[in-house]
Chain A
């Protein structure tokens, strides 16, 4: 594999006694779209600000394209940045905003104008150059901020929660648009977000962070299906976490039922958490026809449109509660009703085990 475009090694940032970033290392490759994902206070913003030089780390190095930029001020680095607040210059027109970084580079006026025109077309606002930012919608303003950052053709694009201030619908639309733009330009991009859906749908790779450390790095599929820790399992998507006991390798006791699961590194008799995604719980109806299944009662049903959230308990589950996702169509076929006793099947490969007693964050 080629050398990474961005090589981050042992990055730490301390504010007095508080450690905001704790020995973080990561490689980011040319043209990749990477999301830093985590709850607020996890260090993702600190990491981004260290990469940009806006708040330089206390220890550790950053190399961009083979150049050591660890200690350089932001003006000596090569990046464009977009903020949640857009940070558009309110007193300048859209065109002047986009041209802002170009005007300082002694380019001929005509070249700047052409570049601004191209960028306005790129972001789908060809006729808005003369407007002031306050005359545009939030989504449009964010696109202008993107164009302003791209105008100087930076090697690295940093997006600091760019969609968080927008309405849900605009957010989804702009998500696709930014992703398409990034693919087209092939620009290495880092986006920070606390929205896991956003990260999963946009990123080539996700860096899940917690308490200043990297919890897991992987593709969206890896993060979703093979969470490396209980924290990641809980943080990404919906997840059932059920206290269980490992009876022997490959089998757990859950309530009054025993379920097969994949071989793992726990000793027999260990108390574990069994993690199961709601959509991996298969409702087989009123009669049993599967291995690895058990019976429980539908204690609550929540209609969400295309699917139902089921809350299951009792029966062989005993005190445990299990959430399952059942499509509206299947619910209709099964004629699901509250208080129904159902047979449920969980494929062995969809049960993941984590150590018990993990502090919930």
Chain B
């Protein structure tokens, strides 16, 4: 037999679809590189340079850790975040357990109340706490002489605003219970406590791990609460602000940023790991668990939920009242005068208008970029390495604290030689930063929605000689509309409430409502600061309501095919 000759390797020809998809992926990868990767890399480099831009190796780090006044921030950040996390997880687990595993009444209402902090900037809780426990606070005496300005205030304030984040994860973890396991446990004669320890907790363990790391990262990277109520208590996130805004020491800011990056990156990997475990833990044959009434448990849980809900409403209510009281605590008659920011230092209705613009731009362009990007990553047939790289780029923001991103943007966009320098100080850079900051969650939401579509839509479309963009427009997008709307609202509300990334990037022409809260509070105009915070809450709330209405309408009118 003759020796078999290997035929030449086939080089696939690229059609128009393939060129367009590959081109789109390339553009997206470049976009993410410019708005995310390159700034971060440059910041990394800056931490190794001195003020003159000379490479000095790790000497900045050595200097940082040799100064106990500064490096104390590391320990402070760690223990405060750990304590706040512990409290949040304990409360949120009880709350989630009550909402998923008991028969307490008003579950929908309790769920709604618990989500309310999502509508507020993290600063709001700190301002409310100052009114409650500050120097002129009504409950000042309750602290037994301790000051709210410091770790106590930071912990309470952080617990308030991170609570819903933990709750969402834990509700998901506890909802996916398999009733058969409980029946098996019961029929084997296990006590309720034993069932809880051997069935409930293990079932929720990945949710608990995930929530723990998410909350820890949120607290340690948050800048709003410690800035407003931290007093002289030094934390990493406020330290970056002080280095950069106070002392113009950008190199040291970069050093602290990198230290802050560590727990966030660690949390990111643990969270990803827990997510994959959680989703594979419940088989598709699981039987949904239906709690039966049990008065003892139900009353106890109702008590817990009511107390937590009251505290949340109390803090929101305090902020609302603070924004309306004429002169706290001497004249408590109501007025809207604090909502006229003309006399306040650092805020105006223009800031509010800017925030609305920022939120709208971010929601619009963010959902556009994220959804088209997720589509290319998930559905295109070309350039597998580029798809993987783009997906990894899209995951980075989850591990990057807003402060760090903001500082990285200064280094990158403010560099004299950068052709994109003209963006510095513009609304565009705020939009870019906000989209980048909240990219990951949106990207994952879009991917989840896209993965639910039949993977062969694109193959069918190609076999019917229909360009992919036509199918994207006529099939993929309409079918994913609810998810796209979710992404839009997520961008909008976060753009309204965020402080951390944008605090380094706004200019006199682009002041923002959330930053105005910070600046007015800093200048001692606490009541207008509370008023601005309430404006943000109200706006986010109204948009949330509109979103709910729109979702219902969408389901009724354009999703008829879902039956």
Contact = CB atoms under 8 A, between A and B. Distances in A.
Are the chains A and B members of one assembly?
yes
Interface residues of A, number: 44
Nearest to A73: B15
A67 B460 CA distance: 22
Contacts of B563: 132, 134-135
Given A59-B8, A104-B470, A134-B562, A91 B460 contact: no
A152 B465 CA distance: 9
Interface in A68-115: 70-76, 79-81, 83, 85-92, 100-101, 104-105
A91 B381 CA distance: 23
A4 B454 CA distance: 34
Interface in B258-279: none
B52 interface: no
A343 B462 CA distance: 61
Contacts of B459: 52, 54, 74, 81, 83, 87
Contacts of B465: 75, 101, 104-105, 152
Interface stretch (B131-139, B196-204, B285-293, B474-482): B474-482
A133 B561 contact: yes
B10 interface: yes
Interface in A45-60: 52-54, 56-60
Interface residues of B, number: 40
Given A59-B10, A73-B12, A89 B475 contact: yes
Interface in B534-563: 558-563
B366 to A, nearest CB: 24
A148 B461 CA distance: 11
Interface string B17-31: 110000000000000
Contacts of A88: 454
Contact of B466 (A57, A85, A104): A104
B484 to A, nearest CB: 14
A175 B495 CA distance: 56
A112 to B, nearest CB: 13
A91 to B, nearest CB: 5
B4 A23 contact: yes
A149 interface: yes
B554 to A, nearest CB: 12
B276 to A, nearest CB: 23
Interface of A: 9-10, 23, 52-54, 56-61, 70-76, 79-81, 83, 85-92, 100-101, 104-105, 132-135, 148-149, 151-152, 154
Nearest to B479: A91
B463 A74 contact: yes
Contacts of B454: 83, 85-88
Contact of A79 (B15, B463, B470, B558): B463
B381 A54 contact: yes
5 contacts: A73-B12, A74-B463, A76-B15, A83-B456, A104-B470
Contact of B13 (A60, A76, A148): A76
B7 A60 contact: yes
A149 B18 contact: no
A161 to B, nearest CB: 12
B9 interface: yes
B13 A73 contact: yes
Contacts of A61: 7, 10
Interface in B63-116: none
A141 to B, nearest CB: 11
Contacts of A80: 463-464
B530 to A, nearest CB: 46
Interface in B1-52: 4, 6-18
Of residues A83, A90, A91, A100, which shows the largest number of chain B Cβ atoms within 10 Å of its Cβ?
A91
Contact of B9 (A59, A81, A85, A91): A59
Contacts of B559: 91
Closest 7 CB pairs of A and B: A101-B464, A73-B15, A74-B462, A87-B456, A132-B561, A56-B12, A87-B454
Nearest to A96: B474
